Structure 1
Amino acid sequence: MPYDVARVRATYPALAEGFAHLDGAAGTQVAAPVIAAVAGTLGRAVSNRSAAFEPGRRSTEIVTAAREAVADLVGGVPGGVVFGPSATALTYVVARTLAQSWQPGDEVVVSRLDHDANVRPWVQAAEGAGATVRWAEFDPESGDLPAKQYADLVGPRTRVVAVTAASNVTGAMPRVREIADLAHAAGALVYVDGVHATAHVPTDVRELGADFYVTSAYKWSGPHLAAVVADPAVWEALRPEKLIPSSDAVPERFEFGTPSFELLAGVIAAVEHLAALPELSGSGPAGPGGDGAARPGDNGGGTAGVGAGRRARVVAGMTVAAAHETELLDRLLAGLAANPDVTVLPAPSARCPTVSFRLRGRSPAETARTLGDQGVCVFSGDYYAYEYFAAAGLRDSGGAVRASIYHYNTVEEVDRLLTALRTV
């Protein structure tokens, strides 16, 4: 059945304001079940975690259910899900913790395709330990990050390879598994930035070969909260700096302070919303719980047998979303190519639905403001992809303009952007 985008959009109250939100790479609008879950948690008795009374037990259940939800989203293990305020903050925690064992002469490998959140924490941790930083370069012609270069970058002293699952500039999706295999053959760990990719494609951390995988809920219809996922055994081997009385258990010992229970409830609802997309869009049944409502403790059936139900629904939901987004991406790319005043930054065919471009005679900031005046929301600048724009020689002239498609976008919104560009 065709994808009914109108039914999907009806679950996003903010879309009623009429803006064309082609800015999902910077953060999506929030689905109604997420709003209800956050508000509902704040409106009932929820205390800090305690087994002594019901409001304390409720918060414990929310945390547990949120770990299960994120594990279902990315194919991980609930006991290996660590929450934090942002992907940047979590990556700093992991980098600083791993660097405790680094020695001068050890090496870390980062890429110039990545968001700085998956570059600077590793560079700074390496500097503090006296380790060497090695750089993977993207191909300026194809926009790809060639995996074969890692055979020369990775060696017996490599401790970590940090790489993105999808560029937040061009949408380019490196061959992460090939890179991970090279890293693992040398005994190195692999830290994958999945912040941009998770919103657009079905994710399986084991298939990727990721030892750590970080994602942010506000990129996939949820609240401003992030998670990094690893095998519990990987976490067990690490000892972060922490308060003495705080829990020493995994994964709690990597989470600092009291969790935001209301935002964790929103995370659960966001994953359920993604799992419901086939039903919401009229593209197929979503199975039990397919209305997108948050159900703390319900992960479609639980641990190895329990989580399988929702995991399958999430994969189905993301598959449906990806097909819709690909159709819109093709239309956007064709329209941009037909405009002689537009230059699109190169990206390989394996990509997420994100495009960066420049308009002749206008700075990126001017282009974004002009489009914004017409209700078309796009970003300009370097989007924190500092190394990419420095290598491309575009930072000093303002970076680029970015349009990013999400599963609630429409053909009309893509055409609205293309028409606006022709009239600028």
Structure 2
Amino acid sequence: MSLDVARIRSDYPALAEGFVHFDGAGGTQPATPVIEAIGAAMRTAVSNRGTAHEPARRSGEIVAAARAAVADLVGGDPAGVVFGPSATALTYLVARTLARGWGPGDEVLVSRLDHDANVRPWVQAAESAGATVRWADVDLTTGELPVGQYSQLVGPRTRLVAVTAASNAVGTVPAVREIADLAHAAGALVHVDGVHATAHRPIDVAALGADFYVTSAYKWSGPHYAAVIADPAVWEPLHPVKLIPSPSVAPDRFEYGTLSFELLAGVTAAVDHLASLSPSEGSRRERVLASMAAAEAYETALAARLLAGLRALDKVTLCPAGRDHCPTISFRVEGETPAETARRLGEQGICVSHGDYYAVEYFEAAGLRATGGAVRASLYHYNTEAEVDRLLQALA
């Protein structure tokens, strides 16, 4: 199935301002149904969850609907969906909770390809527990995260393997399932950072082998809210530090304070919007899979056009990406810092990111962080060939 990009773009009111948004990896623009759902939730009487009156029941229905929506998005179980303010906050929550069972001699394995939100929480949790941190390295020539090294890094004392489903720095999509299989064979859990990948391709947490999968709605047209998904059986034995009167059952016991009901209404609307990108029949899960497959095909072609254009520019140097990669491209322009390139593009209405984008370990390993990192053009399904050409012309 193909995308009607003109129709899709009409669902994003921010695009009417005329800016070219190549900063989707940092956050996408919200779709109209999301904006309307948030507003509707705030105009309607809701109160904290309960059963005594209608406003209390409404808030419970909003939460339940959002859990079901996120489960349909990634192929999880609604009873295993935990919400929080950000992927970083949720990863810290999971790390601190798991670390209560770690001790000296235990090992945690992280990757230098990952966003720091899937690195530092694990490093710090391991340090607090006296556990050892081991590192998987990136092949800086190819942009790949070689699977072979995991056979040497994973061992009988490995408790947790953290890996990204797609690099927010260069787009590389690692062989997560192969890594997960090695981890599970050793009895370790696998935490997958799906923040970047979820926006660009169909996701199935079971197929990935993820015990925990975290995603942020503002990376896929939704509000600034996040979720971490696990099988309810994985949550069941885990008990975070919490207030005495707060819920004792999962997933609620992992959610601190009162949830943002209006943002959760927006989360549900964002999933419904994604399911409508390429009209199809079937359940919402089936429609999500069809739409995201169509979006992936469209974005792949768009990224190929951008890559070909960048390679034709003498003074542009690309950061290598793996064979399988999302439509996220990092580069540098000879003779100027990434910040200068981003500013000059910004003056022409072209929005790109610059720096290390929190992919600290990658840019340190590449020797680029001290000189400003790189410029990132991250495409999304509302971008067009004309916008790609506009960026290439501006760079030229």
The aligned counterpart of 2:45 is: 45
Q: Aligned letter for 1:397?
A: T
Q: Aligned letter for 1:353?
A: P
Q: Equivalences for 1:334-353 in 2 at 5 Å?
A: 334-353=308-327
The aligned counterpart of 1:239 is: 239
Counterpart-to-counterpart distance in 1, 2:9 and 2:81: 30
The aligned counterpart of 1:9 is: 9
Secondary structure of residue in 2 paired with 1:312: helix
State how many pairs are aligned.
Answer: 396
Residues 61-98 of structure 1 show CA distances to partners (whole Å, capped at 9, x for unaligned) of 00000000000000000000000000000000000000
Counterpart-to-counterpart distance in 1, 2:2 and 2:189: 42
The aligned counterpart of 1:403 is: 377
Secondary structure of residue in 2 paired with 1:277: coil
- Residues 2, 294 of structure 2: 8 Å contact kept: no
The aligned counterpart of 1:170 is: 170
Q: Aligned letter for 1:367?
A: T
Counterpart-to-counterpart distance in 2, 1:2 and 1:273: 16
Report whether the alignment pairs 1:416 with 2:383: no
Counterpart-to-counterpart distance in 2, 1:84 and 1:5: 32
The aligned counterpart of 2:351 is: 377
Counterpart-to-counterpart distance in 1, 2:61 and 2:375: 43
The aligned counterpart of 1:297 is: none
The aligned counterpart of 1:304 is: none
Give the TM-score taking structure 2 as reference length: 0.99
Counterpart-to-counterpart distance in 1, 2:291 and 2:46: 31
Secondary structure of residue in 2 paired with 1:25: coil
Residues 237-269 of structure 1 show CA distances to partners (whole Å, capped at 9, x for unaligned) of 101000000000100000000000000000000
The aligned counterpart of 1:386 is: 360
Counterpart-to-counterpart distance in 1, 2:155 and 2:294: 40
Structure 1 residue runs without a partner (length 5+): 280-285, 289-308
The aligned counterpart of 2:120 is: 120
Report whether the alignment pairs 1:330 with 2:328: no
Counterpart-to-counterpart distance in 1, 2:278 and 2:384: 17
Residues 258-309 of structure 1 show CA distances to partners (whole Å, capped at 9, x for unaligned) of 0000000000000000000113xxxxxx337xxxxxxxxxxxxxxxxxxxx1
The aligned counterpart of 1:291 is: none
Secondary structure of residue in 1 paired with 2:389: helix
Q: Equivalences for 1:24-63 in 2 at 5 Å?
A: 24-63=24-63
State the 1:2 CA deviation.
Answer: 4.7
State the 1:114 CA deviation.
Answer: 0.2
Q: Among 321, 338, 350, which residue is 2:295 paired with?
A: 321
RMSD (CA atoms): 0.7
The aligned counterpart of 1:18 is: 18
Give the TM-score taking structure 1 as reference length: 0.93
State the 1:4 CA deviation.
Answer: 2.0
Q: Equivalences for 1:133-148 in 2 at 5 Å?
A: 133-148=133-148
Counterpart-to-counterpart distance in 2, 1:420 and 1:40: 41
The aligned counterpart of 1:225 is: 225
Q: Aligned letter for 1:5?
A: V
Q: Which moved more, 1:3-12 or 1:249-258?
A: 3-12
The aligned counterpart of 1:213 is: 213
- Percent identity over the alignment is 71
